Structure 1
């Protein structure tokens, strides 16, 4: 990794962040340890971020802005930094997702990334044995900020029932994840349906897909294979995906029935077995 003195701020958002952090810190006459004391972290962490050995978090960036009076500069920059940590093939989709007016997704294996808890996402990402798990995790959590906007995209997720039963990360992680899904029961912008096992064969047995709609740009369909992701705006593909999604929604449980199923699975499969045993 580069030393701060040799960082090229034009090389990447992470290099620019490290360069500016060092420049601003020194302009305030602070050593790394002194800045660390102010923002409640170690001087070593400050140094690692300055030299691109660690990826900054949003919390770190907000603390730096407050400590150095940089008017939100690092809080704005960290979004670009975290997005740059995503796999190169996924970055174009993340940029489109962030500007979509409507998102609809069918997920056959996993909870959709925008709905994942940090612990669930960590377990999912770890399966790929990445070099920088923490950077990828921070980037995934940053994607979810689009749901916190004053006017987020309208979003609809159809999850295969298998998603609820696959114990990603263990019982405690799954219980937390399903509880997170239940938080969207009365959400104004997000709706979740479960496609039950009893639905049998359906129109998307060949896998998950996302449909993004925009106020002015053409619709986009996104799919993934083992190696990378693929986007297309082909009208024929959009029509076929829209048809399939309509059939999936029709075959799925209602939003209310889906929430009830999620709640049952959460308690019956991932509940506290000690308490269950005591009741028995």
Structure 2
């Protein structure tokens, strides 16, 4: 898609967004440069978004909606646009996460995507693939907007203690990530527990998994492989994983002790080195 005149609004949500942006801009009698001056973005960026070559952001959409008087149209389209940018195999799962009233997650190797900080998420997504990394990171972080709903889901996360020590993205990214986890301390709808090394053999040794619960639909268990996701409502699987999760919660540290461990690891392992800590050089 290289020229706005051949933009097909039915090709994808991103194309439709670009089509509507151009339509409203032209209706307001503004060039791309003029609109850019109003909303503090470049005319070049607006052109790229209008031709579906660049992903818009929620902030961009809000500014354009205000400048063009669209009634919030572009902001409403953002969720659809961002979800369409997820890997095809994950789009159904993102929808399940957005609809769930309770989400229970167990992670053995990394922080769950719904609680990843920017630097951490960027490092995770950048392994073996640096293409469009900024956009892919923005799309992942946008999924976290489910916590901004008027009634967000009740979220439980159990992470292996190893997750705290697996340095992803460097010390600065880990400090940011652990600080982000601690920001949920005291929030009754977002609960984080650490499964300590001392737990030994535990009910989650077969791997990470999520449980999504809904007001009326069947409970879903989600597991993930390389480039594939596996949601299932099989009653036996749901029953088995629900029991496993109960045992993992029983073996994990309390919410308070988990927060203390996260804080201690952050300070001791990823704390900034101060000049005063360095002895004189003879």
TM-score, shorter chain, exceeding 0.5: yes
**For structure 1, which segment, 81-90 or 131-140, has the greater mean C-alpha deviation from structure 2 after superposition?**
131-140
Q: Residue 216 of structure 2 corresponds to which residue in structure 1?
A: 216
Give the Cα separation in 1 of the matches to 2:95 and 2:276: 45
- 1:278 Cα deviation (Å)? 4.9
Kindly report which structure 2 residues correspond to 1:203-242, keeping only aligned pairs within 5 A, or say none: 203-242=203-242
Q: Residue 101 of structure 1 corresponds to which residue in structure 2?
A: 101
> Counterpart of 1:191 in 2: which secondary structure?
strand
**Cα-to-partner distance string for 1:105-152 (whole Å, 9 max, x where unaligned):** 001111111111111111111114053222221211111011111210
Q: Residue 249 of structure 1 corresponds to which residue in structure 2?
A: 249
User: Where does structure 2 lack aligned partners over 5 or more consecutive residues?
Assistant: none
Kindly report which structure 2 residues correspond to 1:1-280, keeping only aligned pairs within 5 A, or say none: 1-129=1-129, 131-274=131-274, 277-278=277-278
- 1:49 Cα deviation (Å)? 0.4
> Counterpart of 2:30 in 1: which secondary structure?
coil
- Count of aligned pairs: 280
| Runs of 4+, deviation exceeding 4 Å | none
- 1:275 Cα deviation (Å)? 5.2
> Counterpart of 2:163 in 1: which secondary structure?
helix
Residues 212 and 221 in structure 1, CA contact (< 8 A), matched pair in contact too:
yes
> Counterpart of 1:29 in 2: which secondary structure?
coil
Give the Cα separation in 1 of the matches to 2:105 and 2:129: 26
Q: TM-score, normalised by structure 1?
A: 0.97
- 1:188 Cα deviation (Å)? 2.3
Give the Cα separation in 2 of the matches to 1:108 and 1:186: 23
Structure 1 pair 276–77 and aligned structure 2 pair: CA distance change class (3 A):
farther
State the superposition RMSD in angstroms: 1.4
Give the Cα separation in 1 of the matches to 2:219 and 2:232: 8
Give the Cα separation in 1 of the matches to 2:202 and 2:151: 33
Give the Cα separation in 1 of the matches to 2:151 and 2:175: 29
Structure 1 pair 231–276 and aligned structure 2 pair: CA distance change class (3 A):
farther
Give the Cα separation in 1 of the matches to 2:188 and 2:198: 29
Structure 1 pair 247–52 and aligned structure 2 pair: CA distance change class (3 A):
same
